[in-house]
Structure 1
Amino acid sequence: MKSINPDDFRVIEPISLSKIPTELTIDADADEKEEELLKIQQKLSHRQDMMYAHNKHAVLICLQGMDTSGKDSLIREVFKEFNSRGVVVHSFKTPNSSELEHDFLWRHYLALPEKGKFTVFNRTHYENVLVTRVHPEYLLSENLPGIEKVEDITDTFWDNRFKSINHFEKHLAHNGTTILKFYLHMSKEEQRKRLLHRLENGEDNWKFSTGDLKERERWEDYMKYYEEAINKTSKDHAPWFVIPADDKEMARVIVAKIIWEELQKLTDIKDPELDSTVKANIDLYKEQLSK
């Protein structure tokens, strides 16, 4: 399989989503992609064990994408070999009444990874500058000072919200959290096929929601605001990667490879060593246990 270079997907300058392909042209069949993913899964699993023992670095994986872009299945497959104690997945839905009594980042702070662990945000704090941009009326539920009606929401308000997100992520990075953000870039036509599949497949049609069709009508708005969010918040300490997602299997391989390559930059992490006292008395302990 062709080598995957994370920098091919990293956002380092302003992008236009309409100019980025939603499918990667690569000469690999399903078996090759499965085999490649398995190799990376095993390497990531070992790396996770090392990080858990090292207990100084945390990893936050952020996944965003339109409905049916493959977030759930990607999480299931990419992290399949992880020890369950070392990875936690949070799926953020509409804020509840308690969450609305706090600032928009509060609930995300509560879900951050502990040192030595991975946390995956399935939908993220970016919903606060995506869904609320498409549906600004949702902000009225946050009971914010000076926001009494939609007309009170200015460009300055959104600029400040982006600044808050950037400060939030920079603070995390300065305190040992590696942040990797992935936008699963799917075409509108591919979404149509996947939604239709849900309706036609008896095992999957429970996933279908009429809300999916309503949001689909706002596709261009979502693309506009995704593009703006990515361009304003892709930083060296918290990069965005735009992943072609029309091919789910290939998207999983790309994301897994990027995570693996980025973790190699944490050069202080090494396999744990046995405590010196235990090491000096290992023969004694073995003798005791053998009896």
Structure 2
Amino acid sequence: MNTPAPVEVGLIGAGPWARAMHARILAAGPETRLTAVWARRTEAAREIADTYGAVTAGSPEELFDRCEAVAFAVPPAVQAELAVRAAKAGKALLLEKPLGPDLASARAVADAVAEAGVVSQMVLTKRYQAETRDFLRRAQEAEVTGARSCYLHGAFLGGEFATGWRLEQGALLDLGPHLIDLLDAAVGPITSIRATGDPRRWVEVTCEHENGAVSQASLSGSVRLPKPRTRIELLGPGGEVVYDTSVIDHEEGWPVLRAEFAAAVRSGRAGELDARRGLRLQELIDAALR
């Protein structure tokens, strides 16, 4: 049986997340090969490209010409604009959350993906962990009356991830997609959602689910903790089902993400974590804000 050729991926973005994750993981292969990098800061793009033997593209269109798939590691507004162009160019998309800075831009990306018929996949990092998948399997077997959850860290207090859009939009748009995605998948489809508080400091989200369960989520990027904390407790008559990322080795998820994206590109069939899922999460966040 012949091994498929590595998917040639172009990377848009050269910030801390691009350096820490996208470039390193995509270049490591064997399922993918990093072929080109473009960023508005040419020197930053060149530094990444030179490290991994890729080309520094002079424009997004030049990057599109040098790859068959595009990975994004840029602010939501930039992703929303360039992802539409990449989809129209026929490129598969590896997309960050949130899909866009607002619902309209997220819908434009999802519509462009659907119209072009290209493969898309969201970088919802926790979904590629074995522990997360085991939790979701256990959740399907549980009768859930209610759920408590949190996603808390102090990245907004300073450092290279305290970037403009995160500080302006806060935890709901940045951390919310991860936790809302897991609650929607574990407890059941969310039918109503509302948020209170200040997303730049602390926000509480209450969800009502299709099966009658109620869940709550606490979100903050502005609290000092020894390490980021993500925890979900599903509670019901049969006992509790707990998910806690303190026991997870996050490095184990990246090869899974890479392999599943490459397999989707080669088969031409996206998985469940595609742009439509990204749009679903953006719709829920928009509803919570209203």
The TM-score, its normalising length taken from structure 2, stands at 0.32
More helix by share: 1
Higher RCO (CA-CA < 8 Å; seq separation 6+)? 1
More strand by share: 2
